[in-house]
Amino acid sequence: MATTSMAGIDGIVEILGDRADDLLSHRCETISAERLVTPGPDFVDRVMRDTDRSVPVLRSMQALLDHGRLGGTGYVSILPVDQGIEHSGGASFAANPQYFDPVRIVELAIEGGCNAVATTLGALGACARRYAHRIPFLLKINHNEFLSYPNAYDQIMFGSVRQAWEQGCVAVGATIYFGSPESKRQIQEVSVAFAAAHELGMATVLWCYTRNPAFSRVKDGGADYHTAADLTGQANHLGVTIQADIIKQKLPETAEPGFKDLSFGKQDARMYSQLMTPHPIDMTRYQVANCYMGRSPLINSGGASGATDLQDAVITAVVNKRAGGAGLISGRKAFQKPMTEGVALLNAIQDVYLCEEIGLA
């Protein structure tokens, strides 16, 4: 069940530094908080009970929400470790070779007070009998691998929904590269997989990423629309359409009109004048709106590891929570450190969601 925030609001303010006032005092004047379906301890009873999800799916979702330091709050903190497939095992674990061992990955999630651990078929299979009853398992069933030459970007299936069920998983996860030439096939594959997961009583989590070289205008002095609020918001909207129970998305970094600037898709000027501003909380609120106003919870990703990991992670958590999101899924920032430091970072993220002084904008 939920514990008390160790840092408290003063500790969080200290970590936020010069970003504290802007992030903690901001008021969203685009999409009002009253319109949102918000996270809470009664989320399954209040929101999911009225859906077409089966009783076993509701039970799996409740198990996910009830575990770890955030258990019983409606918020989630998930440790994802699947980067070894695309980023290579050596590049991912060189900073901390102990995490070549899947047992250590699961132990980090447990010690870090996470709601669940999300990783690969082989990693969960290597320790399922030891840990599946101790922490909720989330199997990532597809990946983009970088050993094929030349490198390409395409999510392919590495495992099956049936294997996830046999490992005792409460949920399956998958990635779709929206905007890529392969996205139509991926949408169909993941939609079928998610339907099968629901039939077996598991919840579904979708990594909603945009991917197309044409989306980046950085070389020309423009924006990288891979993290534009409008494109990522639409990716979320497609994700909930195939019944993802939770949406995982990168934090938006620009409110520039991607659809207009890239001359594709459909857009309405009010998207940019009334539904979002360049403030990160307002852009993330637009992402939440595209998750059926929060009926499918939005969790944002922690991003790559760097010199300012603690501050970056806490900033992302504050933005997500105040926008109406339901948590964070952070991997590299945690496992590319000694375990004690990784646990501390995960706990700092969780402290944001446990802090009652941080509410909806």
What is the DSSP code (8-state) at residue 253? -
Give the SS3 label for residue 31. coil
Which one of 140, 248, 250, 337 is the catalytic residue? 248
- Residue for token digits 């991917």? 211
260 is catalytic: no
Q: Which two tokens stand for residue 329?
A: 């899924």
How many Cβ atoms sit within 10 Å of the Cβ of residue 14?
Answer: 13
How many Cβ atoms sit within 10 Å of the Cβ of residue 188?
Answer: 11
Residues of 267-289 as b/e, b for ≥16 C-beta within 10 angstroms? Answer: eeeebbeebbbebbbbbbbbbbb
Instruction: Tell me whether residue 52 is exposed, middle or buried, using C-beta atoms within 10 angstroms of its C-beta: 0 to 12, 13 to 18, 19 or more.
Output: exposed
Closest among 202, 190, 189, 47 to 124, alpha carbons compared: 202
How many Cβ atoms sit within 10 Å of the Cβ of residue 191?
Answer: 16
User: Which residues are part of the catalytic machinery?
Assistant: 248
